[in-house]
Structure 1
Amino acid sequence: MSLKIIGSGFGRTGTLSLKAALEILGFAPCYHMQEVIKRPSHIKKWQQIADNQPVPWDDIFANFEAVVDFPASIFYQELLAAYPTAKVIHSVRDPERWYDSTAETIYRAAENFPSWAAKIIPPLGNFIEMQEQIIWQRLFNGRFPDRTYAIQRFHDYTEEVKQHVPPEKLLIFQVKEGWEPLCDFLGVPVPDVPFPHVNDRENMLRDFKRLRQTFTLLPLTIAALTLILLWQRSKLSRSVRKVGQNKPTSIVISDGVRNP
């Protein structure tokens, strides 16, 4: 299996909807940041890539026909060189709305995890570090909080994609356009199902809220369970001592007969 579709668009440009659409069209499975989260070994591979260590692309994409979203979209040139027959889809949206959505969701994602969680759960810590290295430092030079800079980077990146990808291999796409331009570009018929629209900001924020609640309650839950176990252990110890104290004693007489 070889990549047929390379997504070069930023996260929060409808990439999860695009992933679902491509899989409906038969370009499945489609790689997305969600696939990274599911695979701790891939997190380490992306960390190696961020550190400029060579990682064969097939080690990541051997079982995928398409890829969209961060972190892979940042490496669209390298991927196109490795898979020269692939087509490139550059997903975009209104830059102002893109910035608001990104700032409120994926940029703040790490804030939903307390620092201790990243330390005691290595894949989580590695994932947060990988995002920081590849997205917020490599792509935005540590300046994403500067709204003007980030939006200009959004514009500039689209122009860079246009310069580096041959026009016949490139589609600039907004998911609100639906099936027609996507299917025309890929040379496939329009399916008889609605175009998927998933992962809106409200759903993501609701998921983040659940995460915060979980990690807030987790230490309390662990403490309560620890107290219960300690209490049960103390209770068992007292019971054992009580049984020992009430056990009948035996007297050994000279002829070896034990009488109570």
Structure 2
Amino acid sequence: MKVIVAGYPKTGTKSTASALAHLGYSVYDSLENVIILRKEYTKVINEGWKIDDFRKMYGNVDAVIDMPACFFWEEILQAFPDAKVILTIRNSEDEWCRSLVSLFKGMHRLENRFIEIFSPTARYFCKYINKSTHPLIHGNRRPDPWALSAPINKQLAKKMYKNHNAYVKQVVPRDQLLVYNVSEGWEPLCKFLGHPSPVIPFPHRNVKGAIVHGNDTHPLMKQLRREAWISFIALSFASISVGYVCYKYGRTAL
């Protein structure tokens, strides 16, 4: 583990993850955290943890970012004390909160609801991981896929965001910490990590919460979508079959 991104979701984490990947780092973003490490995080959240748990989870990974790792950034740093820490931030807590509200609304898009209801993997991490970490990180319960609205306590969310950022700045040694806004582009990020700045434009991903579950072309996202369709088709076929049998035998009984 070389880089720990401690910033909250909706602080340019998707853009930062893409930039780190371009610089040659293997990155565990939210999808990797909650799908590849779902058993490990289920244990951490439900039973507790030891620092060695995080050492095993991320021993072969260069960088970690987003939920639920941003909540456990301090434990991950204890497991990898030489890692550099990046605190991604927005221009203001109000700007961050508006982006969070957009994220919660995005969870109610039809495809996102469809995936969370019919994909076994999506249901698993929504039930056992995201619903546990959302109150810890945002102070708000993650909305259910069948809920009609996504209420959010903005004051509580902003307070937790502000407290989190202040704590990271207080704890991490200055020479190990970069407070970073993705609007700054390549230069501060590459200088901090010791890389030359690429000539390509800095990647900007998930603008205004356009993608709720991460990169829409991500292999793990494709897995969730494939699972959802398989489950939906199987359930539809089973329902039609049962309906036909009931209809057939009902007519015979008459």
- Preserved contact between residue 5 and residue 66 of structure 2 (Cα < 8 Å): yes
Percent sequence identity over aligned pairs: 29
1:115 to partner: Cα distance:
11
1:79 aligns with 2:72: no
Q: Determine which of 95, 101, 104 is the counterpart of 1:103.
A: 101
Normalised TM-score (structure 1)? 0.72
1:50 is matched with 45
Deviations along 1:128-170, whole A, 9 cap, x unmatched?
Answer: 1211112x22234447822112112211111110111011110
User: For residues 205 and 157 of structure 1, do their structure 2 counterparts lie closer, same or farther at Cα, with a shift above 3 Å needed?
Assistant: closer
What is the rounded CA distance, in whole Å, between the counterparts of 2:100 and 2:139 in structure 1?
16
1:247 is matched with none
Structure 1, gaps ≥5 residues long: 235-260
Structure 2, gaps ≥5 residues long: 142-150, 217-224, 249-254
- Preserved contact between residue 7 and residue 73 of structure 1 (Cα < 8 Å): yes
1:133 is matched with 132
Count residues with an aligned counterpart: 219
User: For residues 100 and 229 of structure 1, do their structure 2 counterparts lie closer, same or farther at Cα, with a shift above 3 Å needed?
Assistant: same
Q: Larger Rg: 1 or 2?
A: 1
Normalised TM-score (structure 2)? 0.73
Q: Determine which of 60, 65, 71 is the counterpart of 1:63.
A: 60
User: For residues 66 and 141 of structure 1, do their structure 2 counterparts lie closer, same or farther at Cα, with a shift above 3 Å needed?
Assistant: same
User: For residues 107 and 35 of structure 1, do their structure 2 counterparts lie closer, same or farther at Cα, with a shift above 3 Å needed?
Assistant: farther
1:32 aligns with 2:29: yes
3-state SS of paired residue (2:4): strand
3-state SS of paired residue (1:101): helix
1:228 to partner: Cα distance:
11
1:123 to partner: Cα distance:
2.5
Q: Which residue identity lines up with residue 199 of structure 2 in the other structure?
A: D
User: For residues 61 and 205 of structure 1, do their structure 2 counterparts lie closer, same or farther at Cα, with a shift above 3 Å needed?
Assistant: closer
Q: Determine which of 102, 121, 124 is the counterpart of 1:123.
A: 121
Q: Which residue identity lines up with residue 80 of structure 2 in the other structure?
A: Y
